[in-house]
Chains A and B, each alone.
Chain A
């Protein structure tokens, strides 16, 4: 009886240790980059909604370099700057722009419906796609990209609030969707285009 119990405990302990070793050693399937802690990984799966009602996930544009930017349409300063920088970079890239898919994801799904997002990004050009989703879908996507966002009360603002949010443009590699670079709204179109051209042509 006692021996049996000891055996069970021993097997469980062995399996736990084995699991930890496999995980830490980077042997876990999918963790092909060698030892790496999950806490430093930026970017991951998301499933969101486009203006036409279709679902767009991290897999939809796996053949392209994806530029992922989180913001909201009521944002008058950083977001329009970032989006017009991205659109400018796409123009500068010329034919290489076909290998890039910029995606603008709202962190304000209550006001930014998929349709609002689609309409908003159209004005910038650059083939930017605007995505929204349920609050849970947005929270999941933001968590994957380590994006912070929070409502801030402002009685004069539409619906009584504005948003604080991380303003970072993530560059994700085709194929494995690995995070390779960041831009901000202060990165010029020229700088973005130059970096993207180097990334695209050296891959």
Chain B
């Protein structure tokens, strides 16, 4: 199901290339593809949120993801979640290395773009722009789709429990690759 969805997303992205205005849906440069950007809806009054995205290096040389920004938050930062014997720790990540052919998927329990100082709550079904900065490819803008509160994947169809149990037990599900 996730494969099919992913195919559909890719297809939509491919078809959309010639039609969509710049910066809509999927961001690309010659070498770097930014895909499947999604975020969790946030409760009223929440100061922070998390966005997740897949970055793929289709180029022949190394690149690095070095930063993020969005107009909907005062600060966007790459973060890693560390489970230290049941103690959850969040730490900033300065750089995500992207070797040629590498694809890194930020996802819950692993890494996220931490959105700090949200200017308004993230409402399910809405979307917002996110700009990722790469050492070589420069800035790439993508559109982040807001999924439901506590969603585990960008393809969450409202059945969180099942997505969670399968998604967490099989980290490679849906063709997601970690570097």
Contact = CB atoms under 8 A, between A and B. Distances in A.
Interface string B112-145: 1011110000000000000000000000000000
Contact of A85 (B46, B89, B160): B160
Interface in B136-161: 148-152, 160-161
B54 interface: no
Interface string B36-68: 000011111111111000000000000000000
Interface string A176-203: 0000000011101111010000000000
B119 to A, nearest CB: 13
Contacts of A66: none
B160 A74 contact: no
Interface string A156-170: 111000101111100
Given A77-B108, A164-B88, A184-B86, A189 B46 contact: no
Contact of A156 (B50, B92, B112, B164): B92
Contacts of B116: 156-158
Given A167-B87, A188-B165, A189-B161, A78 B81 contact: yes
B43 A73 contact: yes
A151 to B, nearest CB: 12
Contact of B165 (A120, A156, A191): A191
B150 A80 contact: yes
A28 interface: no
Q: What range describes how many residues of A lie at the interface?
A: 35 or more
Contacts of A89: 161
B35 to A, nearest CB: 21
A123 B149 CA distance: 8
B40 to A, nearest CB: 6
A85 B84 CA distance: 21
B77 A188 contact: no
Contacts of B149: 80, 84, 123-124
B43 A119 contact: yes
A76 interface: yes
A75 interface: yes
Interface of B: 40-50, 75, 77, 79, 81, 83-84, 86-92, 108-109, 112, 114-117, 148-152, 160-162, 164-165, 168
Interface of A: 73-78, 80-81, 83-85, 87-89, 92, 111, 116, 119-124, 148, 152, 154, 156-158, 162, 164-168, 184-186, 188-191, 193
8 smallest beta-carbon distances between A and B, as pairs:
A84-B150, A189-B161, A123-B43, A188-B165, A76-B50, A80-B150, A78-B88, A188-B164
